[in-house]
Amino acid sequence: MHLNRLQAERMSLVEFRGVTCAYGDRRALADLTLSVGRGEALALVGRSGAGKSTLLKLVNRMLIPQQGSVLVDGRDTREWDPIQLRRRTGYVLQSIGLFPHLTVQENIGLVPRLEGWAVPRREARARELLQLVGLAPDDYAHRWPSELSGGQQQRVGVARALAINPPVLLMDEPFGALDPVTRRELQRAFSRIQQELRQTVLLVTHDIAEATALGTRVGILDDGALIICDTPAAVLRATDARVRRFLEPVRTPTTAG
């Protein structure tokens, strides 16, 4: 057990060490310790306001912890140049945030463009990623975001986050705004991509089913603390009362918030 933990630490790409982060007097995270290994997809479940988004923003230094430290690649985020760090972490948001003034291909090619890639290489990469997320490049490369459905937009959002093969992919409720059918479609596509790429992923969601389906490990955040973090099977079997509450099937999407 002790040896395992040491090993995990050596392997870990993202690590939280006793992190506390608060907005004003509301504590989002309290003394959180957590590590994500290479190639692992950690899915974190929590209610709204449980500090899920805060957790992701600590990884790419859009926030800095008040206490403790967040390490990426073994380096404290405070020591990272934020621009460099963010280029190494893809980010997929619930609101997608595609640039409405750029075509699909330009949206995907934007980070490569910031990295100074030449146009042909950017275009080839965009087509490759469109293929990966299941959109035919010839049909979609030159469309505007406003011409796509929500599901198609989020596929582009995922492709954009993967553009320069970042070591870490952060996903903030990526499929939360989609209708159930589209959501399942995208979850399937994501699983497939994840198996293909072995990407290190940190995904937050309020949907336990999504977490257990997509995560190689599942954590549950409650009131700023991690109450369990284990394989999906282990989490589903857990007997702890607090954990069981999260496992009860969601009756209506709105009560899950």
Partner 1 sequence: MTLLRFWQAHASELWAMIERHVVLVVLSSGAAIALGVPIGILAAHRPRIGKPLVAFANVAQTVPSLALLGFLLPLPFIGGIGSRVAILALILYALLPIVRGTIAGITTVDAGVVTAATAMGMTNRQLLWLVELPLALPSILAGIRVATVVGVGTATIAAAIGAGGLGEYIFRGLSMVDSTVILAGAVPAALLAVAADLLLTWVERTLRPSRHRASRRRVLVTASALTVIAVAFGGLSMRSAPDAIVVGSKNFTEQIILGELFAQSLEARGIVVTRRLNLGGTFICDRALRSGDIDVYPEYTGTALTAVFHETVGHDRGSVLERTRRRYAEGGVTVLEPLGFDNTFAILVRRADAESLGLRSIGDLKQVQQRWQPGFGFEFVERQDGYRGLAAAYGLSFARDPRVMDLALMYRALASGEVDVVAGDATSAMIAALDLAVLADDRGYFPPYDAVAVARTATLLRRPEVRQALEALGGQVSAAEMRTMNRAVDVDHRDAAEVVRQFLKSR
Residues interacting with partner 1, by CB under 8 A?
Answer: 60, 62, 82-87, 89-91, 93, 95-101, 110-111, 114, 144, 146, 157, 160-161, 170
Minimum Å gap between C-beta 97 and partner 1 is 3
Residue 36 per-residue DSSP state: E
Which three-class secondary structure state does DSSP give residue 15? strand
Minimum Å gap between C-beta 195 and partner 1 is 25
* Nearest Cα residue to 105 out of 150, 160, 151: 160
Are 113 and 122 in contact by the 8 Å Cβ rule? The answer is yes
- The tokens describing 96, both together, are 């997608």
- Provide the CA 230 distance to its chain's centre, in angstroms: 17
Of 5 and 142, the one with the shorter C-beta distance to partner 1 is 142
Of 115 and 240, the one with the shorter C-beta distance to partner 1 is 115
Of 62 and 132, the one with the shorter C-beta distance to partner 1 is 62
- Provide the CA 160 distance to its chain's centre, in angstroms: 13
Of 10 and 101, the one with the shorter C-beta distance to partner 1 is 101
Minimum Å gap between C-beta 58 and partner 1 is 12
Of 117 and 144, the one with the shorter C-beta distance to partner 1 is 144
Minimum Å gap between C-beta 102 and partner 1 is 8
Report CA-CA distances (Å) from 47 to 97, 206, 225. Answer: 23, 6, 12
Minimum Å gap between C-beta 110 and partner 1 is 7
Are 229 and 217 in contact by the 8 Å Cβ rule? The answer is yes
